[in-house]
Amino acid sequence: MPIPVWVLLGFAAWTLLILFTTVGVYRWSRIFTGRAEISEWRADEQQGSDWYRRAVRAHLNCVENLPVYAAIVVALLAARAGGPIMDGLAITILAARICQSSIHLLMEQTNTVAAIRFAFFFVQAMCMIAMGILIALSARG
């Protein structure tokens, strides 16, 4: 299986890991201890601690970007593009995603921290754009 596909699986696993170990634990611990009702959790309201809200955003950042990367991997497979550059870009995307999410979860969001978090997002975006360009060039022949 090509490395970009492994990275896609890793990206999906990271997205689920964040969901279950942060948002899920926070919500279910409150439900099971009687501090909240299951019906209280609403997507259209700010709820919970600052850390919980950051965890929700970190998870949603993954959910927003996972389909974009998945589309790139589908195009890569269809064009039969690949190679060490694509592999490196894919690995960089996953590493930058993990760093971005971790910073979101573990650090209070000051201007400096937000700028660092954005830098990791920017790395991902540039890698995805580069992969798209390489796929298009490969498909052109």
* 79-120 pLDDT tens trace: 999 899 999 999 999 999 999 999 999 999 999 999 999 999
Give the model confidence (pLDDT) of 109-124 as tens digits: 999 999 999 999 999 9
Residue whose entry in the numeric block shows the structure tokens 């170990």: 21
Q: Where are the alpha helices (DSSP H) in the chain?
A: 3-18, 25-32, 50-79, 84-106, 111-140
DSSP output for 22-61? IIIHHHHHHHHTTSS-GGG--TTS--S-HHHHHHHHHHHH
Q: Whole domain around residue 8: which residue ranges?
A: 3-140
Q: How many domains does the chain have?
A: 1
Residue whose entry in the numeric block shows the structure tokens 């209280």: 40
Give the model confidence (pLDDT) of 25-66 as tens digits: 888 888 889 888 887 777 777 778 888 889 999 999 999 999
Instruction: Report the CATH number that the domain containing residue 125 is assigned in CATH.
Output: 1.20.120.550
